[in-house]
A and B are shown apart, each in its own frame.
Chain A
Amino acid sequence: MAKVKTRDRIKSTALGLFNNEGERQVGSSDIAAVMGISPGNLHYHFNAKNLIIVELFDDFEREIRQVLAAPVNEPLAIEDNWVFLYIIFEEIWDFRFFYRNMAALIERVPELAPRFSRILALLQRTLLALIGRMEASGHLVFRADEKNALSERLSMHFTYWLQYHGLRYPNAGAKTTINHGVYAALVQITPYWEGGGEGYARLISEFLDAQGE
Chain B
Amino acid sequence: MSKDKDSKRNTGDTARRIWLAGIGAYGRAFTETKEAIKDMSGEASEVFDDLVQKGEMFEMVIGMKSKEMLDKTGVKDVKMPDIHMPDLHMDKRIKKMRDRLKASAGFDDDIPSAGLEARMDAVEAKLDEVLALLKPAPKAKAKPAAKAKKTTTTRTKAKVKSAPKPKKK
Taking beta carbons and an 8 Å cutoff, which residues of A are in contact with B? 3-4, 7, 44, 58-59, 61-62, 65-67, 69-70, 72-74, 77-80, 83-84, 86-87, 90, 118, 122, 137-138, 193, 195-200, 202-203, 206-207, 209-211
Contact = CB atoms under 8 A, between A and B. Distances in A.
Interface in B83-104: 86, 90, 93-94, 97-98, 100-102, 104
A62 B111 contact: yes
A203 B97 contact: no
A203 B127 CA distance: 57
Interface stretch (B73-81, B117-125, B146-154): B117-125
Interface stretch (B11-19, B53-61, B137-145, B161-169): B53-61
A88 B100 CA distance: 14
Interface in B22-55: 26-28, 50, 53-54
A29 B124 CA distance: 21
B57 A58 contact: no
Contacts of A137: 50
Contact of B107 (A69, A77, A84): A69
Contacts of A138: 50
A14 B111 CA distance: 23
14 contacts: A44-B131, A66-B102, A69-B108, A73-B106, A74-B104, A83-B94, A83-B97, A84-B97, A87-B101, A138-B50, A198-B26, A199-B28, A202-B26, A206-B65
CB-CB nearest 10 A-B residue pairs: A199-B27, A199-B26, A210-B64, A79-B57, A70-B101, A66-B105, A83-B97, A206-B61, A73-B106, A69-B106
A69 to B, nearest CB: 5
Given A73-B104, A83-B97, A195 B27 contact: yes
A143 B98 CA distance: 34
Interface of B: 26-28, 50, 53-54, 56-58, 60-61, 64-65, 86, 90, 93-94, 97-98, 100-102, 104-109, 111, 116-117, 120-121, 124, 127, 131
Nearest to B96: A83
Contacts of B26: 198-200, 202-203
Most A CB within 10 A of own CB, among B57, B64, B127: B57
Contact of A210 (B54, B65, B107, B108): B65
A196 B27 contact: yes
A7 B120 contact: yes
Given A70-B104, A78-B57, A199-B27, A58 B116 contact: yes
Nearest to A67: B101
Nearest to B50: A138
A79 B101 contact: no
B130 to A, nearest CB: 10
Given A59-B116, A203-B26, A203-B58, 12 more contacts: A3-B124, A4-B117, A4-B124, A65-B108, A73-B106, A79-B56, A83-B97, A84-B97, A86-B90, A87-B101, A196-B27, A199-B27
Contacts of B53: 77-79
Contacts of B124: 3-4, 7
A70 B105 contact: yes
